[in-house]
Amino acid sequence: MRAGTSSRRPTAALLSIFKKIAHKAEAVKGSAKKTTGRATDNRRLEAEGRGDQTKGNLKQAGAKVKDAFKH
């Protein structure tokens, strides 16, 4: 590779940001499902939303712990 050219590979920091956005989006999606389930009295959708929200929140917490050990 010549000097001054990039390999166009995403850096670890950039990937980390994308993962954090994806985790937050998962939690928000779960919250929306949960709210929709409550509004429509659909217990299955509400439970699925709670699960998605919890999963997203846990992933966010894991990312925070990982970041704490990086710095």
53 Cβ neighbours under 8 A, 6+ residues apart: 26, 27, 29, 30, 31, 33, 34
Burial of 31: CB neighbours in 10 Å, binned 0-12, 13-18, 19+: middle
Residue 8 lies in a domain: no
* pLDDT at position 21: 94
Boundaries of domain holding 36? 24-61
Q: Is residue 70 part of a domain?
A: no
Give me the pLDDT at residue 71, please.
66
- The answer to whether residue 66 is domain-embedded is no
Instruction: Name the 3-class secondary structure at 3.
Output: coil
Number of independent structural domains in the chain = 1
Residue 19 lies in a domain: no
| pLDDT tens track, the chain, 71 positions | 455 555 677 787 888 889 999 999 999 999 999 999 999 999 999 999 999 999 999 999 999 998 888 76
